[in-house]
């Protein structure tokens, strides 16, 4: 069976993704030391953990801007990429959940096939929508307020006080960390554990030519997947 390559992840997106990944992991680790310093001493001093946490927070905020500018201004596909369609909500979510929770174990194929124009399955779209449009902005803004308590004191008081702000930041950060566990695990659900992770590093995804015969090797401007025949992808291989 011959292989073809599709250019799935453009360079700005890959830069954003890995900046985000390393930034969030750093934030989680330093965050644990900042909240539980009497139990955890990963970094030399408490101050260094705080400074690293603040810098990582800025890196994530910067990478978020990069992501937003790329999708909203450069490729102009922000809503198309992340907003679930009506079909996604009515059928796609259930179909994808059924795959993850049942048919995957039976050896069926993933009903969604990632292409440059339709990267995410309905569950990914919904999850990323919540993560990128609600969770990351809120955790970043609460973090920004926590690093500037004195100058933004009135805003902190309007929110209800420092403790409520800290509670929001902590619980949102826990949500983000919980998502990270699920995200990394689901990324290993390809034919090989690295199949879906590799394209986020190289940009290119390899796939069997029989799966998408209309793809053009090496093109970053592929025809819309909507125009491609999708029959084989949602059918069982082993009846």
Which residues contribute to the site for other proteins (CB under 8 A)? 34-39, 45-47, 50-51, 54, 100-101, 104-107, 147-151, 153-154, 157-158, 160-164, 166-167, 170-171, 174-175, 177-182, 184-186, 189, 191, 237-238
Output 161 or 218, the one with its CB closest to other proteins: 161
Q: Name the helix (H) or strand (E) containing 80.
A: helix 78-82
Q: Choose between 38 and 229: whose C-beta lies nearer to other proteins.
A: 38
Shortest Cβ 34–other proteins spacing (Å): 6
In the complex, the smallest distance separating the C-beta of residue 156 from other proteins, rounded to whole angstroms, is: 8
Q: From the CB of residue 87, how many other CB atoms can be counted at a distance below 10 Å?
A: 11
Reading phi first (left if > 0) and then psi (alpha if -120 to 50, else beta), residue 218 is in left
Angle 44-25-14 from CA coordinates, rounded to 5°: 135
* Closer to other proteins by Cβ: residue 13 or 123: 123
CB of 196 to other proteins, least distance (A): 14
Up-side HSE of residue 231: CA atoms within 13 Å toward CB? 1
Nearest approach, Cβ of residue 171 and other proteins (Å): 6
What 8-state DSSP symbol labels residue 118? B
What tokens does 206 get? 């390899």
């Amino acid at each position: 069976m011959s292989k073809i390559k599709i250019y799935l992840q453009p360079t700005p997106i890959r830069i954003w993704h890995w900046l985000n990944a390393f930034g969030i992991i750093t934030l989680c680790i330093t965050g644990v030391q900042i909240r539980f310093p009497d139990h955890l001493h990963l970094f030399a001093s408490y101050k260094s953990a705080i400074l690293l946490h603040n810098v990582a927070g800025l890196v994530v905020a910067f990478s978020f801007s990069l992501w937003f500018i790329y999708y909203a201004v450069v490729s102009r596909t922000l809503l198309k990429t992340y907003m679930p369609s009506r079909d996604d909500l009515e059928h796609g979510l259930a179909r994808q959940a059924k795959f993850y929770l049942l048919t995957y174990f039976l050896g069926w194929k993933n009903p969604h096939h990632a292409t440059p124009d339709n990267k995410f399955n309905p569950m990914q779209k919904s999850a990323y929508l919540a993560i990128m449009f609600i969770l990351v902005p809120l955790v970043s803004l609460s973090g920004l307020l926590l690093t500037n308590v004195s100058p933004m004191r009135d805003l902190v008081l309007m929110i209800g006080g420092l403790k409520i702000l800290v509670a929001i930041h902590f619980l949102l950060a826990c949500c983000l960390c919980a998502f990270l566990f699920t995200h990394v695990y689901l990324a290993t659900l390809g034919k090989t554990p690295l199949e879906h992770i590799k394209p986020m590093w190289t940009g290119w995804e390899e796939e069997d030519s029989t799966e998408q015969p209309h793809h053009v090797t090496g093109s970053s401007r592929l025809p819309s997947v909507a125009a491609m025949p999708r029959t084989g992808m949602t059918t069982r291989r082993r009846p």
